[in-house]
Homo-oligomer: A and B are copies of this chain.
Amino acid sequence: MSIDLCSMSAAKIANCISVGELTAEAVMVSCLDRINARDSVVKSFIDFDADRALSLARASDQQANKGILRGVPFAVKDIFDTVDLPTSWGSPIYAGVQPPRNSSCVELLIRAGAIPIGKTVTTEFAYFSPGATRNPHNLEHTPGGSSSGSAAAVADGMAALGLGSQTAASLTRPAAYCGVFGYKASQGLIDLQGVMGLAASLDSLGLMARDIDDLILARAALCGTALPHEITGYSPPQKLAFFRGPHWQEADHSTQINCVAAVEALASSGLCVTDLDCPPELYPLSEFHKTVMAFEAARARYFEFRNHPKLLSDAFYSLIEAGLSTSRADYDAALAARDAAESVLANLFLTYDAIITLAAPSSAPAGIDSTGDPLFSRMWTLMRVPTVTLPFGRDTNNLPLAFQLVGGFGADERLLANSRYIAEQLQITCTIPRL
């Protein structure tokens, strides 16, 4: 019974509680049991207060809170400020630092009835240097990064919903590796107040869950947007583009054929899916992404570079050095290339409802010394468009595979609705690992 509750989707939890079939306490107990059973090896959480989470759940059961995420335990990447738990940004510099308030995202999920269960491991400053988290589907493999802990916690049933972020591939990659749904919002359209910034042009909010409806509910909680049953006149996507892109050959064979299988299954279900050649404006974007990230990160995190250089990893120190030696002219050229590519992409969305493309070059690589390659997300993050990662298929090692859907800038609700339709066509379900 305990396992069943912790494997429920956020949508189902909220619904069952609202009709009196379930208590928030029972759900929380189940998640805490799961954490007790598993997190000593998965290591999703960096900070955690079981008593507090349980008392919040009990308090929720006493309230007449009608929030759309009532009683849903959610995991918070440790770059989001929380008033009840420290926020250390994955860096020893800020170990134990206690913010005086919640970040607005955390606060708005609480407003919708959700309950923060704990802070999850992030890579150092949401960049590449990994934490201790392991992939719940195979502990010898990376969960991806930087939203490592939230992805692993959601995949393992320790929380129904996870807050993350993306500056390169920090949401898409861990979602893909851990086999959960991931949503990266259009850049700048969800307030990141109280969230550590790495590169202001790129930083985007992200959410992870085991059901696409959970992402839709959480977005509604954050943005005040309509719920699926309130949306009238939704029609399924008419035309999808299958975009192999400039890096297709850098993906491994099983990832390639899995993505093609998804495309073929969607075509079989009656959707029109057309091959889309890479427009020339998009080819160089992955490199331009690096330029923008380094230039901006060097300014956003100059404080730590100046004051605490010995507490930075070599990789992060090198990022700041690279950014400081990048000229404004090179940075401006990268942004101009982005602007041109965004125009081309916006025109494509006049023809296509969404773009299907790879989420990562492979399943989760072995080892936890690296969080894998961000290559397949850089261009989309740079172009600021929303993406949804859909878990689909497994490789020969039984590790999750995935693809991503890309939508037009600002058309997040439509992308989520289309992703929901596509997940239904492909009968995607996420299951947590058996104990």
Contacts and interface: CB of A to CB of B under 8 A. Distances in A.
A104 B328 contact: no
Interface string A297-332: 001111110110000000000000000000110010
Interface string A81-102: 0010000000000100100111
Nearest to A88: B100
A302 B100 contact: no
A104 B302 contact: yes
Total copies of this chain within the assembly = 2
Contacts of A226: 328
B188 A328 contact: no
A225 B328 contact: yes
Contacts of A197: 104, 191, 193
Interface string A184-207: 000010011100110010000000
B223 A108 contact: no
A300 B97 contact: no
A20 interface: no
Contact of A111 (B188, B296, B306): B306
Contacts of A296: 191
Contact of A193 (B97, B200, B225, B295): B200
A107 interface: yes
A1 to B, nearest CB: 34
Contacts of A280: none
B104 A299 contact: yes
Contacts of A327: 224
Given A83-B303, A188-B188, A200-B191, A331 B101 contact: no
Interface string A217-254: 00000111110000000000000000000000000000
Interface of A: 83, 94, 97, 100-102, 104, 107-108, 111, 188, 191-193, 196-197, 200, 222-226, 295-296, 299-304, 306-307, 327-328, 331
